[in-house]
Structure 1
Amino acid sequence: MWLDLAVSDLESLSREELIALARRQDAQITLLATRLADVSERLEQALKRLAELEYLLSRNSGNSSVPPSKDDGLGRTPPCKERRAKPSGRAKGKQPGAPGTALRWREEDELDDRQDRYPEGACGCGADLGAAADLGVVDRYQQHEIPLVSVSVVQYDQHAVACGGCGRVHTAARPEGAGAGRVEYGPNLRAYAVYLLVVHFVPVRRVVDILTSLTGARPSVGFVHSLLRRAARALQACDFAIRTLITLAFTVCADETPLKVGPATPAEGKKEAKGYLHVACTELYTHFLLGDRSMKTFRQTILQDLEPGAIAVHDRYQAYDSTQLGDLNHQLCLAHVLRDLTSAAQLYPDEHWPVQLADELRELIHRASQARTRGETSLPQRIKSIAVRGLRAAIRIGLAATAHLDDARPGARKSRLLLEAFHQREDDFLRFTTDLRIPPTSNQAERDLRPSKIQENISGRLTHPGRAKDRYLIHGVLSTAVKHTVNPLTVLRDAFTGTTWLPPAARA
């Protein structure tokens, strides 16, 4: 190598040799510079990728929309415990005065059965205890028990009779829930099967095993799966009524979540084979729509049919703000905002604005809850003004602190966009303070969507889109029934017998 040449060796070279050596050195320097630039670029990409991976691993239920079930995943950072101003001093468990659920002693007229029990066998002296003198009741015990269930086969013989007056023939109708076949399972068993499928996310084959163990009946896998379609058809009128009632609501919580549905191979032009489950709900009604995240699906949701001026409570996904959904007012979900502010506080540990902004929002939510409990309709203006001043000051500080255009750290752009949204849409973040009927979060929608993720974790992909739509039509009806304290099994059984349950309209 030319680097090993001593100065004396260079002095002995001719002009032509020095020129050739310089050219070789230039070529080697160019090659090394190219390699160094390539290594530097790869290192920069690796560092960027490492920062992205560290950011993703730092996501948890406290600073993002990651569900709590994934907080203990490999390499993940668990969420920090919430700060408390001071210990509450309250013991864990049931609080004094809270309603309990213990079994109570039933009076005589409430009993289903009563049995007198006497000692049996022989006394130590050899006398038969059956002839002993009765000294009265010395112990009483009540037991709540369910009967052992065993499938029973009943044959219904429908007779025809001829009228004695005119001779017209009349034929007895089949029992409620009977189909056209000669042999089939009754509405009770069908209701249990759909209940296990939809409410408890039990896979079809396990539903068959459960029914066999509990009742002795062994329906086929195909029959159990077909019940989804039959139940959905029977509940279509209820689903339509729920959708109509939600369109009349003053506030509607909306959300959507990805769902593995349909073929596992992505469609042309798509990176992933998945759909989106949309929910629109209130405290009394739940309605699901299975589609994608396109504007076409959003136009099919209930939001487009809401009354002018209705309040849509949602996260900041851009589709909710489209004018194609009509003239809506918005309440942006503050639960999402607080998680984003937790993330911002971790990204900017030396800045005070994320904590100040979060504290002011929590205080507003707390004050609104107290005012609602007192029966007030809006938050007192004095309290709101104090909090808004703090919010605006934190936003100004945050905008100044995040004005660096070269901050390419993961999460920096998201924090900046949150501050800009707060600055531009303050009314949409604080609309709940003007009317306490408006919830500050879309937690109701997240609660209604959460079972779909549980189902996905248990059973995986729903390969048939049609049956998936049937599943969530049924789930919306049963969720609404539970919100009205109606037994979902009763709703399913009535549907299979031709009686459709309809939810009552909410009081204004």
Structure 2
Amino acid sequence: MKREQILKACQEDPESIVALIAHLEENVQRLEARVKTLEDQLNKNSRNSSKPPSSDGFKKPNPKSLREKGKRSVGGQKGHPGHTLSMTDKPDHVVVHQLNTCTCGQGLMDSPVIRSERRQVWDIPPLKMEVTEHQAEIKCCSACGSVNKASFPEEVTAPVQYGARVKSMTIYLNQYQLLPYDRIQELFHDMFGHGLGQATCVSANHHLYNQLETIEADIIERIEENDVVHFDETSMRVKGKNHWLHVASTDQYTHYTVHEKRGRIGMDEASILPTFSGTAVHDAWKPYWGYSCHHALCNAHHLRELTFVYEQGNQKWAKEMIDLILEIKQSVDNKRGTTETLDADEIAVFSRRYDQIIKVGLVEEAGLNPPEQVTPKKRGRVKQSKAKNLLDRLQTHRLEVLSFMCDFRIPFDNNKAERDVRMTKVQQKISGTFRSEQGAKTFCRIRGFISTIKKHSLSVMKGIEAALEGKPFLPL
């Protein structure tokens, strides 16, 4: 409308101007809310949200740890054994460098050796493929005339085949070091001068997958017996479509499964949560609450979300909650090893402070984002701000947030599961997608076995080789 039209409408039809202003105000509120949402998305990074560091791009935030600065200096601490290369008393080879002539020209051939100075060189011997030929004798019995043949070793089943160590190395490189098949073929050609077929790598993985069936069942059983288990899930591409990797972790065992669904159906398929009766540590994803076990929430997630609310929303209560949670953690760390829980009086004080911060936060949030300014959706719940959602979670699940101070067996965060998930994300960055569902299942079973071996500080290569030979072992 032009200025003249507006003035005329004010004189002749003022109600239309009132309606116009109301409409404009509604549009402004809607656009402001949209701008705020987009700004929040742009301002999120790996430090103040659950986004991975790889998503930060070239705008990576400056490192800023939520932990208090320690008193120790950076690097190895006093008493650390170190890893300096040292001499061995039993070298594989000894090369004696003789001294025949003095610097003055006199011959020293007949002079006795006073002493020798030692220097050792650690190196890898020349690498080559070894071929072992098995010959089974065939003999004719002089008594009955029957022809008899000696038996080949059980593992020798074909006229020409690869041994367990070659298969173990291809599995180790592919499943543990995450090298694609093409890179493994190049490595064998460059190091051994041997052309290895891709089908050999695939066949070795599939064979180990079958050999580990009972081991995977044992891992599931031992995880279920634990009092505390960490759970997490992350996206995984299979045949170009999005699937979900589910992980269950303890200090000693790891189990992975892959499923099309992220929620209850996928979790049931993993077969641990439906019968688990201990404490499940997770990130508050809604389907977890449907299981009857005890629950504990990851406070590392809360610290990141609180950082976002404080820095981007300028809400002071969030900083107070960060300080309180870290103070509780420090108190728990100081008493760990001497008791299994904080004193009742200390728990009561921390709980009162926690509740008070929540009350202040609700008031502060209501002042910044009044409920009447939020336009409800046509269906579903009324949309809330990130800060309000976080406040509701901290208030509703107060016991699950603070459980780590009441029972020291319950960890402060869910980092154990997130660490076990991390390398599977690296695999996705390298390979992009699994070509088949069976390939994804093979990776999950083998990777769970490898992770379990590593948690017991055992050799991955020896574990893989033993499993290929039909003697898989599960650490106690």
Match of 1:14 in 2: none
User: Aligned runs of 1:279-294 on 2, under 5 Å?
Assistant: 279-291=247-259, 292-294=261-263
Say if 1:428 and 1:101 are closer, same or farther in 2 by CA, change over 3 A: same
CA distance in 2, matches of 1:463, 1:218: 23
CA distance in 1, matches of 2:212, 2:336: 36
Gaps (5+ residues) in structure 2? 376-382
SS at match of 1:276: strand
| 2:304 aligns with one of 333, 339, 349 | 339
| 2:321 aligns with one of 337, 343, 357 | 357
Is 1:159 paired with 2:122? no
Match of 1:238 in 2: 215
- For the aligned residue pairs, the C-alpha RMSD in angstroms reads 3.3
Is 1:229 paired with 2:198? no
CA distance in 2, matches of 1:211, 1:170: 39
Is 1:303 paired with 2:296? no
Say if 1:176 and 1:396 are closer, same or farther in 2 by CA, change over 3 A: farther
CA distance in 2, matches of 1:135, 1:278: 68
Is 1:174 paired with 2:137? no
SS at match of 2:166: helix
Match of 1:402 in 2: 365
CA distance in 1, matches of 2:364, 2:387: 11
Say if 1:242 and 1:88 are closer, same or farther in 2 by CA, change over 3 A: closer
CA distance in 1, matches of 2:40, 2:48: 11
Is 1:348 paired with 2:330? no
Say if 1:368 and 1:302 are closer, same or farther in 2 by CA, change over 3 A: farther
Match of 1:470 in 2: 442
User: Aligned runs of 1:14-53 on 2, under 5 Å?
Assistant: 50-53=35-38
Deviation, structure 1 residue 328: 0.2
CA distance in 1, matches of 2:207, 2:194: 20
Deviation, structure 1 residue 318: 0.4
| 1:197 aligns with one of 171, 174, 178 | 174
Deviations, residues 460-494 of structure 1 (Å, cap 9, x unaligned): 11222211110111000010001111111001111
CA distance in 1, matches of 2:328, 2:171: 43
CA distance in 2, matches of 1:167, 1:424: 87
Say if 1:64 and 1:154 are closer, same or farther in 2 by CA, change over 3 A: same
How many residues are aligned here? Answer: 453
8 Å Cα contact 1:58/1:77 also seen in 2: no
SS at match of 2:385: helix
Give the counterpart letter for 1:145 in structure 2: D
Gaps (5+ residues) in structure 1? 5-21, 264-272
| Range moving further from structure 2, 112-121 or 92-101 | 112-121
Say if 1:468 and 1:101 are closer, same or farther in 2 by CA, change over 3 A: same
SS at match of 2:302: helix
CA distance in 1, matches of 2:450, 2:94: 39
Deviation, structure 1 residue 79: 5.6
Say if 1:421 and 1:128 are closer, same or farther in 2 by CA, change over 3 A: same
CA distance in 2, matches of 1:287, 1:430: 27
User: Aligned runs of 1:476-487 on 2, under 5 Å?
Assistant: 476-487=448-459
8 Å Cα contact 2:227/2:279 also seen in 1: yes
Deviations, residues 216-235 of structure 1 (Å, cap 9, x unaligned): 22211222123221111111
Match of 1:420 in 2: 392
TM-score (normalised: structure 1): 0.80
Match of 2:333 in 1: 369
CA distance in 2, matches of 1:316, 1:361: 17
Say if 1:208 and 1:128 are closer, same or farther in 2 by CA, change over 3 A: farther
8 Å Cα contact 2:309/2:315 also seen in 1: no
Match of 1:91 in 2: 73
SS at match of 2:371: coil
8 Å Cα contact 1:347/1:412 also seen in 2: no
Give the counterpart letter for 1:69 in structure 2: S
Match of 1:12 in 2: none
SS at match of 2:272: helix
8 Å Cα contact 2:165/2:465 also seen in 1: yes
| 1:115 aligns with one of 74, 77, 94 | 94
Say if 1:466 and 1:133 are closer, same or farther in 2 by CA, change over 3 A: same
State percent identity of aligned pairs: 27
Deviation, structure 1 residue 383: 2.3
Say if 1:301 and 1:94 are closer, same or farther in 2 by CA, change over 3 A: same
Deviation, structure 1 residue 148: 2.3
TM-score (normalised: structure 2): 0.85
Say if 1:421 and 1:191 are closer, same or farther in 2 by CA, change over 3 A: same
Give the counterpart letter for 2:53 in structure 1: P
Say if 1:52 and 1:414 are closer, same or farther in 2 by CA, change over 3 A: closer
8 Å Cα contact 2:47/2:61 also seen in 1: no
Is 1:317 paired with 2:280? no
Is 1:57 paired with 2:42? yes
Deviation, structure 1 residue 406: 5.0
